[in-house]
Amino acid sequence: MRKSIATVSVSGTLTEKLAAIAAAGFDGVEIFENDLLVCPLPPEDIRAMAADLGLTIDLYQPFRDFEALPPPMLAAGLERAEHKFRLMERLGADLLLVCSNVSPLAVGDDALAAAHLRLLAERAAEHGVRIAYEALAWGRHVNEYLHAWRLVQMADHPNLGTCLDSFHILSRGSDPIGIEAIPGEKIFFLQLSDAPLLAMDVLQWSRHHRCFPGQGNFDVAGLVRHALNAGYAGPLSLEIFNDHFRQAGTGRIATDGMRSLVAVERELAGAAHPCVPTGFAFTELAATGELREVLGALGFARTGSHPSKPVELWWQGGARLLLNDTGGDAALIAIGLDSPDPGGAVKHAESLLSPVLPRERAPEEVPLDAVAAPDGTEIFFCDTAWLGDFGPGAPVPGQITGVDHVALTQPPHYFDEAALFYRSVLGLRPQESLELPDPYGLLRSKAMSTGSGVRMVLNIAQVGAGQTPWQHVALACTDLLAIARELRAAHPELLLPIPGNYYDDLEARHEVSPELRELGVLYDRDEHGEFLHLYTVTVGRVFFELVQRVGGYQGYGAGNAPIRLAVQHAGQPMMGG
Ligand SMILES: O=C(O)c1ccc(O)c(O)c1
Ligand SMILES: [Mg+2]
Q: Which residue has the higher pLDDT, 73 or 468?
A: 73
What 3-state DSSP class applies to 207?
A: helix
Say if residues 458 and 415 touch (Cβ distance below 8 Å).
yes
154-to-107, 117, 123, 171, 574 alpha-carbon distances in Å: 17, 9, 17, 26, 63
pTM of the model: 0.93
Give the pLDDT confidence score for residue 58 in this predicted structure. Answer: 98
Closest residue by Cα to residue 191 from 212, 174, 173: 212
Distance (Å, rounded) from C-alpha 565 to C-alpha 392? 40
How large is the average pLDDT for residues 449-467? 81
What residue owns the CA closest to ligand 1's atom 1? 207
- Of the candidates 452, 445, 450, the one whose C-alpha atom is nearest the C-alpha of residue 407 is 445
502 pLDDT more than 70: yes
What's the CA gap between 137 and 154, in Å, rounded?
21
- Residue 435's H or E segment, with its range, is strand 429-438
pLDDT digits (tens, 9 = 90+) for 272-300: 898 999 999 999 999 999 999 999 999 99
- Ligand 1 atom with the shortest distance to the CA of 168: 10
pLDDT per residue as tens digits for the range 192-245: 999 999 999 999 999 999 999 999 999 999 999 999 999 999 999 999 999 999
Q: Indicate the pLDDT class of residue 361, thresholds 50, 70 and 90.
A: low
Residue nearest atom 2 in ligand 1 by C-alpha distance: 207
Domains delineated in the chain: 3-268 (3.20.20.150), 279-571 (3.10.180.10)
346-360, 489-503, 531-545: range with lowest mean pLDDT: 346-360
Determine the atom of ligand 1 nearest the C-alpha atom of 165: 10
Question: Which of 59, 97, 99, 205 should be mutated for ligand 1, with most atoms under 8 A from CB?
Answer: 99
Distance CA 481, CA 487 (A): 10
Ligand 1 atom having least distance to the Cα of 61: 6
Question: What is residue 54's three-state secondary structure?
Answer: coil
Task: Please tell me if the CB atom of residue 65 comes closer than 6 angstroms to any atom of ligand 1.
Answer: no
**What percent of the chain is predicted at pLDDT more than 70?**
97
pLDDT 10s digits, 5-52: 999 999 999 999 999 999 999 999 999 999 999 999 999 999 999 999
Closest of 197, 206, 192 to residue 257, by C-alpha? 192
CB atoms within 10 A of CB 200: 9
Which of 206, 209, 243 for mutating ligand 1's site (highest number of atoms within 8 Å of CB)? Answer: 206
- CA distance linking residue 560 with residue 167, whole number of Å: 34
- pLDDT tens for 148-188 read 999 999 999 999 999 999 999 999 999 999 999 999 999 99
Q: Which ligand is nearest to the CA of 62?
A: 1
Q: Which of 270, 265, 174, 176 shows the shortest CA–CA distance to 213? A: 265
Binding site for Mg(2+): what residues are annotated? 405, 472, 545
Give the three-state DSSP class for 425.
Answer: helix
Residues 6+ apart with CB under 8 A from 375: 408, 409, 410, 411, 414, 418, 469
Mean pLDDT, the chain, as a whole number? 94
Rg for the chain, CA atoms, rounded: 28
State the Cα–Cα distance between residues 409 and 463, nearest whole angstrom. Answer: 12
Q: How far apart are CA 388 and CA 410, in angstroms?
A: 32
Distance 382 CA to ligand 2 centre (A): 43
Protein residue with least CA distance to atom 11, ligand 1? 136
For residue 98, what are the contacts with CB-CB under 8 A and spacing of at least 6?
62, 63, 64, 66, 67, 117, 120, 131, 132, 133, 134
By most ligand atoms within 8 Å of CB, the mutation choice from 136, 171, 206, 242 for ligand 1 is: 136
- Closest ligand 1 atom, residue 6 Cα: 8
SS3 sequence of 255-322: HHHHHHHHHHHHHHCCCCCCCCCCEEEEEEEECCHHHHHHHHHCCCCEEEECCCCCEEEEEECCEEEE
Is any ligand 1 atom within 6 A of the Cβ of residue 61? yes
Candidates 273, 281, 374, 293; CA nearest to 322 is 281
Q: Please report, for residues 42, 195, 407, 507, 548, the alpha-carbon distance to residue 335 in angstroms, rounded to integers and kept in the order given.
A: 50, 29, 11, 37, 22
Q: How far is CA 128 from the centre of its chain?
A: 40
Ligand 1 atom with minimal separation from the 167 CA: 10
Dump strand ranges (E) for 439-562.
441-449, 455-463, 471-477, 522-525, 529-535, 542-551
CA distance readout (Å), 511 to 135, 505, 517, 523, 553: 54, 11, 12, 11, 17
Confidence of residue 577 (pLDDT cuts 50, 70, 90): very low
Ligand number, closest to the Cα atom of 97:
1
Kindly report the three-state secondary structure assignment for every residue of 63-107: ECCCCCCCHHHHHHHHHHHHHHHHHHHHHCCCEEEEECCCCCCCC
Of the bound ligands, which one is closest to the alpha carbon of residue 60? Answer: 1
For ligand 1, whether the C-beta of 134 sits within 6 Å is yes
Strand partners, 323: 285, 312
Question: Which residue, among 446, 425, 324, has the nearest Cα to 373 in the 3D structure?
Answer: 425
- Whether the upstream peptide bond of residue 183 has omega within 30° of 0, thus cis, is no
Query: Does the pLDDT at position 440 exceed 80?
Result: yes
Contacts with 523 (C-beta within 8 Å, 6 or more apart), sequence order: 506, 510, 512, 516, 530, 531, 532, 557, 560
User: Cβ atoms within 10 A of the Cβ of 451, count?
Assistant: 11
403 residue type, one letter: V
35 lines ligand 1 (CB under 6 A): no
Report in angstroms the alpha-carbon separations of 136 from 170, 171, 299.
12, 10, 60
Output the known binding site: 134, 165, 191, 239, 405, 472, 545
pLDDT of residue 404: 97
Q: Which amino acid is at 189?
A: F
Distance 61 CA to ligand 2 centre (A): 9
Tally of residues, the chain = 577
